[in-house]
Amino acid sequence: MEFFLPIAEVHVSLPFIFILSLAVGVLSGLFGVGGGFLMTPFLIFLGIPPAYAVPNEANNILGTSISGSTTHYLKGTLDYKMGLMIVVGGVVGTALGIYTFSYFQDIGKINIVISLAYMYILAIIGTMMLVQGVTEIDRARKKIVVKKKLHDHYWFHGLPFRMRFKKSKLYESAFTPIVIGFLVGFIAAILGVGGAFILVPAMIYIIGMPTKLIPGTSLFVTIFISAIVTVLHAFNYGTIDLILVTVLILGSILGVQIGQKLGERVDSSQFKTILAVLLLLVGVAIAYDTFFAAENVSEIYKNSKTSLGPVSEFVRDLSKNVPFLYGMASLVLALGLGVGAAVLRKVLSKLKDKYIPKPTISTK
């Protein structure tokens, strides 16, 4: 059953998008990375123009980030001070990214820019993950154990404006997290991704944060960057579709919870090679879609207009007549679903501990 999106003006299958978002959410929870670099291309493949796929996935990432960050807040595994430094750079990078997006939007080249950027990024990330996955499998097979230093100090850690980050037990220049935030914000504004695939490795290998604080701090940063991207796109272009976003957020939040549970029981490193191959295949598909199927996609866009139902008409009118209220509604939606999911998970966990006792291990 297909549904007509009033903002993007295309026909899509909402149940299929929910299942797809659920699957990407499981991968995100399992591997600890954002699913934007997978979900945005999938939305494009389903006929949603890139200029609409990017901001709607950014809104989706906002909801899942709020959910995950709230969970880490309740656990106390979040470095606010480090996160705020990254956000400072992220705000500047996001603003520049939106300006770049606007430039290519005005000259009619934004769709091709987004497609090409995803093609190259997925190819690079997929190749790096494939090499890493194969290396880990080979080391495990040969039973080779590699000892790593807790933290390497580089010249940029000694730059001016050094700060002490008590939670992470670090003392280094504030320029390091600010520059990293700038890069993440710029990429997020153009591609509609959370930037975790850059931020997480940077926190580990460049900033040198403790591993237990990285997921929560990364999600905390993503909240601000995704919120800025969502608001600017909603106000400037009116490209946020609340119907699409609701389905995406519900699927992603549920999927992330499932993925995190699976991650506690299985060694996710065993599946890195599979994810790497998937990324490479998506990159190849984007290349084909960009260079060989562009005309067919444009025909889909042209032939998608139809009469609106009451819900779709309300969403369209609200977006056109009250853009500020509509933009705030997209933020409130993400906030409500995100926090609600985290609180619900906490309540269910307590009920489980209360009424389902853990099995005792016999000492006989």
pLDDT at residue number 300: 43
For the stretch 223-250, pLDDT in tens is 888 888 777 777 777 788 888 888 998 8
Residue 361 is assigned to a structural domain of this protein: no
Residue 235 is assigned to a structural domain of this protein: yes
pLDDT at residue number 304: 46
Residue 56 is assigned to a structural domain of this protein: yes
Is the CB of residue 153 less than 8 Å from the CB of residue 206?
no
Whole-number Å distance between alpha carbons of 323 and 308 = 19
Name every residue whose Cβ is closer than 8 Å to that of residue 179 and which is 6 or more positions away in sequence: 89
pLDDT at residue number 270: 59
Residue 45 is assigned to a structural domain of this protein: yes
* Helix H or strand E segment including 86: helix 80-106
Give which of 332, 137, 150, 112 is closest to 230, Cα–Cα: 332
Backbone torsions φ then ψ of 7, nearest 5 degrees:
-95, -50
For the stretch 21-33, pLDDT in tens is 898 888 776 665 6
* Helix H or strand E segment including 3: strand 3-4
Whole-number Å distance between alpha carbons of 325 and 330 = 9
Residues of the chain with pLDDT under 70: 1, 29-35, 133, 136-137, 143-158, 192-197, 260, 263-275, 290-308, 357-364
Is the CB of residue 46 less than 8 Å from the CB of residue 231?
no
pLDDT at residue number 162: 82
In which residue are the tokens 């579709």 written?
241
Residue 363 is assigned to a structural domain of this protein: no
Is the CB of residue 89 less than 8 Å from the CB of residue 179?
yes
Range of the domain at 107: 3-355
Residue 331 is assigned to a structural domain of this protein: yes
Q: Where are the alpha helices (DSSP H) in 168-241?
A: 175-191, 196-202, 214-236
pLDDT at residue number 299: 44
Q: How far is CA 356 from the centre of its chain?
A: 34
Residue 364 is assigned to a structural domain of this protein: no
Residue type, 113: V
* Structure tokens given for 257: 């919870």
Residue 146 is assigned to a structural domain of this protein: yes
Residue type, 333: L
Count of domains observed in the chain? 1
